Amino acid sequence: MSQKLPDANLTRRALLTTGGALVVSFSLLPSLGLAQAPPADTVSPQPSPPQPLPGSLKTSPMLDAWLRIGADGSVTLFTGKSELGQGIRTALTQIAAEQLGLAFAAVKLITSDTQQTPNEGYTSGSQSMSDSGTAIMHATAQAREILINLAAEKWGTAADGLQAKDGSVAAPDGRKLGFGELVAGQTLSVRAGSTSKLKMPQTFAIVGKSVPRVDIPGKLTAAPSFIQDMRPAGMLHARVVRPPSPAAKLLRIATSAVETLPGVKKVIVDGRFLAVVADREFRAIKAMEALAAAAEWSESPSLPKQSEIFDVLKSLPNKVYTIRDDKGPAGAVTKSLEAAYSRPYQMHASIGPSCALAQFSDGQMTVWSHAQGMFPLRQAIAELLTLPEDKVRCIHVEGSGCYGHNGADDAAADAALIAIGVPGVPIRLQWMREQEHAWEPYGPAMAMRVKADLDGDGRIATWDYSVWTNTHSTRPGGAGSTLAGQLKAQAFAIPAPQIIPQPAGGGDRNIIPLYKIPNVHLDHNFIPEMPLRVSALRGLGAYANVFAIESFMDELAVAANADPVAFRLKHLEDPRARDVVSLAAEKFGWQAAAKLGPGRGHGFGFAKYKNIAAYCAVAIELEVERETGHIRLLRAVAASDSGQAVNPDGIRNQIGGGIVQSASWTLHEAVAFDTTRILSRDWSSYPILHFAELFETVDVHVIDRPGMPFLGTGEASQGPTGAAIANAICSATGVRIRDLPLNAARIKQAIGV
Amino acid sequence: MVKLNINGQIHDVASEPDTPLLYALREDLALNGAKYGCGVGQCGACTVLLDGKPVFSCLVPISVVDGRAVTTLEGLGSADKPSPVQRAFIELQAAQCGYCIPGMMVRAEALLQRLPSPTTAEIRAHLQPNLCRCGTHMRIVAAVQRAAELSKSTAPQKI
């Protein structure tokens, strides 16, 4: 089954007639209320939903926001989350099919679209399964009971003993009524009830199975799958021209020569927002180059020195948020340690640069985008164009993997700002590689400092941790969050940066160590001023905080003369945390790895993502070439616990992919800049991991917890991997490197050969 | 008009002769297999075969392609009749976002035509020019090995 790209020529009227008229919503007759809890012996270990409603039912409580059944019995599921390559299209469909007793292929899924789906904010923070998956599980379970009750009413029998299976409700005597027949004539919407009769995990036929991803066959056989593959009739190609540096001012520009180039339809100069529109793609690129050459800019230094970035950040005004200040008993301190760690600016660097389509027709702006939040994007674009929000529709279409807030929102705003000046015509705006590298919002630089005391039993008695960093999300929120809004002549102010409160946290994500420590003080030093444009990069602060915490745990283990895994277990009480740590160590062969040959090392890292999502432990073996500082990655073994594992292969793909991506961040990546310009503008000036540097093996072991809540997985392995690599390098060389990236030059320098 | 031989079919394309092959494939022929990634031959998302050898289609102007055989992902197989490489990648679910995978598969096809039973080291060395950002590398290498097995098991039927 492959996915179809949305039809860019679809009008609102067409949508309503094809979608609305045939769709019948549920009614819930008062006598069939679901408020009563089902008998205890049929309840799964999944706790009954407490008030407020579970997952995204909190914000979208109407069942027909999530699920519609057509008169023909067709079942359409709606999610406000988006497929970003993480596989949620498949996993969410599995959950619905399971609860409704349907075949997997019988459920059609519509993803984030401001005109069709619930508003679930952003697809971020590894929350799709816990937000949308939980909502869909309860919505479809309740819908199933409504259908059963409707059948019982029609037959005049008790609902007990009736079953929903393969699109019908069936009675023990063989009678059947199709879902479509049951809902015919029903028009009422219904709020989700406070309890759901969930299926027992041991009866699951679809959830827990590695159902192949629905999007993969199409993507691998060149079916139109990505936003870049959309080609609505009459489409024109647009390109933007960006300033050469963030503070560059446009002195003058002569556009006449560009306007007469072959195929050029429009040249836009609106303050520092420059763009071209042409009939063919390569003509648009030539026009973009001509317009860039025609622009004369005045550049001035506005960036700090890269070599001094952490001093600069620490010198800027900050607001201290004390996340924890636990005072407890402490025995006599025998040893005290202190260390400082850092993470540079790093980029999302999607393989496909950002792209968007926009069309302004009959006063209505439609934008197709691969951004993470269609509803927030709609608000930003409405403000940018001074349109009411109901005149803007944003539809998610897949792009290249995004890993956070990359250029997607900006490209969407660019496309909309261009399209409003070319009414009636679909505009396809494609960023160039250099634009993605130089203008996407980076993962913020971070400085971490940690102090700890050990007592006479080799236990951590006190832990004092501080992180200094900017906000970790500048997502829209408002036209001023977009480059188009910032660059146009009548510019929008950049919104004041906000913290993301705990328990998710932003720069302080995962700042709370999961270890049992009696005295803990944690400070998040939030720096409002942003020397470079920054926002959410996969894991936000978790990657660097876990890197620091788990590196320091190894430093403390050495000081306590303890094995690093045993030292962690000594401080871990959460049984699920202990399980992933023990399983990763066992599958890795941690004890035997202590006798590795010269130049080889092994390292460990663990975290529970955001302290509320998936548990993940990673053990790594590597080899260090002392003469060059070059790393050879050998083995990675991970254990993870994502609660009820909906699609185990999908979890393995996410955890394994996160390990390789984190290895790239950890060994290579830092955005380069001088005081005027961003210097990382392509893959040679921002190197990432190549095949030659790949692990020999990566094994992921998934601990399934049937009936337990879904725990987000997409960002669970990056932090533990970074720390495991640093710890393995220390194990191989005896040298502790605390500043990312751990590249060959830095390792060679640290070894001192 | 430039004549292009794409997957065994001759097409006259309207693009100007200096247009990189990538844009002619995607725009004139509406082929989705080759992807724009960098435009400067650094990532491999646009990889196609030119006379059987992998090239970056973002760098090759159509004027120099004239008459030579171009194979794109569409030329390997289709959803109904996937090639061994495509079957292997689907079987092993060797994709996350999937954007880089077409380029990987086309490059792998060139390797398997030259070396029917490559070692892991040979696969890695061969795929070195192509970048993946999701970290799917391990599955990509395994899928190429699997494709080699599938190619052998289907080889007699090819003739």
Residues 6+ apart with CB under 8 A from A311: none
| Predicted pLDDT of residue B120 | 97
Q: What is the mean pLDDT of residues A705-710?
A: 96
Q: Could you tell me if A125 and A160 lie in one domain? A: yes
- Residue A499, domain member (yes or no): no
Query: B35: which chain A residues are within 8 Å (Cβ-Cβ)?
Result: 226, 228, 351-352
CB atoms B36 and A649 under 8 Å: no
Query: A215: which chain B residues are within 8 Å (Cβ-Cβ)?
Result: 98
Q: Could you tell me if A681 and A617 lie in one domain? A: yes
- Residue A708, domain member (yes or no): yes
Which residues share a beta bridge with A617? A606, A639
| Predicted pLDDT of residue B67 | 83
Among A124-128, A539-543, B42-46, B91-95, which is the least confidently predicted range? A124-128
Which tokens sit at B30? 């509406």
Task: Name the residue among B44, B37, B42, B1 with its Cα closest to residue B19.
Answer: B1
| Predicted pLDDT of residue A708 | 96
Which tokens sit at A60? 């979208």
Q: Could you tell me if A455 and A431 lie in one domain? A: no
- Residue A481, domain member (yes or no): no
Nearest-angstrom CA–CA distance, B46 and B58: 6
User: Which chain B residues in 69-98 lie under 8 Å from chain A, judged by CB atoms?
Assistant: 72-74, 77-79, 82, 86, 89-90, 93, 95-98
Q: Could you tell me if A546 and A514 lie in one domain? A: yes
CATH 1.10.150.120 in chain B, residue ranges: 84-158
Q: What is the mean pLDDT of residues A70-74?
A: 91
Q: What is the mean pLDDT of residues A431-446?
A: 98
| Predicted pLDDT of residue B156 | 52
Q: Could you tell me if A559 and A602 lie in one domain? A: yes
Binning pLDDT at 50, 70 and 90, where does residue A8 land? low
- Residue A167, domain member (yes or no): yes
Burial, A271: exposed, middle or buried (Cβ in 10 Å; 0-12, 13-18, 19+)? middle
CB atoms B79 and A659 under 8 Å: no
Q: Could you tell me if A531 and A617 lie in one domain? A: yes
| Predicted pLDDT of residue A2 | 43
Nearest-angstrom CA–CA distance, A349 and A351: 6
- Residue A496, domain member (yes or no): no
Residue ranges of the alpha helices (H) in A306-439? Answer: 309-315, 374-385, 408-419, 433-439
Best mutation target among A5, A86, A221 (most B Cβ atoms within 10 Å) is A221
A–B CB contacts, 8 A cutoff, strictly below: 174
Q: Could you tell me if A122 and A243 lie in one domain? A: no
Higher-pLDDT residue of A24, A396: A396
- Residue A327, domain member (yes or no): no
Binning pLDDT at 50, 70 and 90, where does residue A23 land? very low
- Residue A700, domain member (yes or no): yes
Tally of domains within chain A: 3
| Predicted pLDDT of residue A7 | 61
Class of domain B84-158: mainly alpha
Instruction: Using the 3D structure, point to which of A188, A215, A242 is the last residue of a domain.
Output: A215
**Is B53 in the A-facing interface, judged by CB distances under 8 Å?**
no
Cβ-nearest to A231 among B30, B73, B74: B30
**Is B17 in the A-facing interface, judged by CB distances under 8 Å?**
no
Q: Taking 60 as the threshold, does the pLDDT of residue A299 lie above it?
A: yes
pLDDT per residue of chain B (159 residues) written in tens, 0 to 9: 899 999 999 999 999 999 999 999 999 999 999 999 999 999 999 999 999 999 999 999 999 998 899 999 999 999 999 999 999 999 999 999 999 999 999 999 999 999 999 999 999 999 999 999 999 999 999 999 999 999 988 655 444
Cβ-nearest to A660 among B40, B82, B135: B135
Nearest-angstrom CA–CA distance, A709 and A131: 11
CATH of the domain at A410: 3.30.365.10
Q: Could you tell me if A538 and A577 lie in one domain? A: yes
Task: Name the residue among A456, A467, A569 with its Cα closest to residue A521.
Answer: A467
Nearest-angstrom CA–CA distance, A383 and A365: 12
Which residues share a beta bridge with A23? A70
Binning pLDDT at 50, 70 and 90, where does residue A52 land? confident
Cβ-nearest to A401 among B30, B42, B134: B134
CATH 3.10.20.30 in chain B, residue ranges: 2-74
Query: B38: which chain A residues are within 8 Å (Cβ-Cβ)?
Result: 353, 433, 682-683
Contact A669, A346 (CB under 8 A): yes
A326 secondary structure, DSSP code: E
Average pLDDT over chain A, rounded to an integer: 93
Query: B27: which chain A residues are within 8 Å (Cβ-Cβ)?
Result: 280-282
> Which range marks the domain in which residue A170 is found?
12-215
Q: Could you tell me if A430 and A559 lie in one domain? A: no
A191 secondary structure, DSSP code: B
Binning pLDDT at 50, 70 and 90, where does residue A24 land? very low
Q: Could you tell me if A29 and A70 lie in one domain? A: yes
Q: Could you tell me if A88 and A145 lie in one domain? A: yes
Name the minimum distance, in Å, from the CA of B128 to any CA of chain A: 5
C-alpha triplet A479, A483, A488: angle, nearest 5°:
80
Which residues share a beta bridge with A273? A270
| Predicted pLDDT of residue A266 | 98
Name the minimum distance, in Å, from the CA of B108 to any CA of chain A: 13
Residues 6+ apart with CB under 8 A from A161: A171, A172
Euclidean distance between the first and the last CA atom of chain A, given in angstroms as a whole number = 56
| Predicted pLDDT of residue A49 | 46
Nearest-angstrom CA–CA distance, A746 and A739: 9
The domain made up of B2-74 has a fold known as Ubiquitin-like (UB roll) (3.10.20)
Task: Name the residue among A587, A701, A586, A699 with its Cα closest to residue A640.
Answer: A701
| Predicted pLDDT of residue A6 | 63
Q: Taking 50 as the threshold, does the pLDDT of residue A11 lie above it?
A: no
Binning pLDDT at 50, 70 and 90, where does residue A477 land? confident
Identity of the residue numbered A276: V
| Predicted pLDDT of residue B158 | 43
Cβ-nearest to B124 among A226, A398, A694: A694
Q: What is the pLDDT of residues A328-353, one digit of tens each?
A: 997 899 999 999 999 999 999 999 99
Q: Could you tell me if A283 and A383 lie in one domain? A: yes
One-character DSSP codes across A277-319: EESSHHHHHHHHHHHHHHEEEE----S--GGGHHHHHHHS--E
- Residue A488, domain member (yes or no): no
